[in-house]
Amino acid sequence: MTTIAISRSLAQLKEELEGLGYRVYYEDEINTPTDIFIYSGDSVGGSLYSANQMLSTVSMQNSSAMPLNNGGTLLIDAKNKSLAEIKFIIENRTYSPLF
């Protein structure tokens, strides 16, 4: 199952993703590797700093853990994206189809 960390400013999106069956945690609650981090582009500096801090903390806490099967954490800027668009990004690990 996909584990998602999310900025606190995206509380409504958290509930919607949980309704779709994803495990979603706020960025300051998670202490294990996460597949995806969703932040708001409205506060890019703060959110990306938080993402970096969260990923560094998780990495240090789990340095002996097996790496994620997908090769890392996908960062998603939720600004101006619908739930359907975010779901597509999560499921395909890409922002748009190639063709």
Residue 65, pLDDT score: 45
d(CA 10, CA 39): 8
Residue 17 to residues 1, 2, 11, 33, Cα–Cα distance (Å): 13, 11, 10, 18
Residue 73, pLDDT score: 87
67-94 pLDDT, tens digit each = 444 468 899 999 999 999 999 999 998 8
Please state the domain extents for the chain.
Answer: 3-92
Average pLDDT of every residue of the chain: 78
Residue 47, pLDDT score: 52
Residue 63, pLDDT score: 45
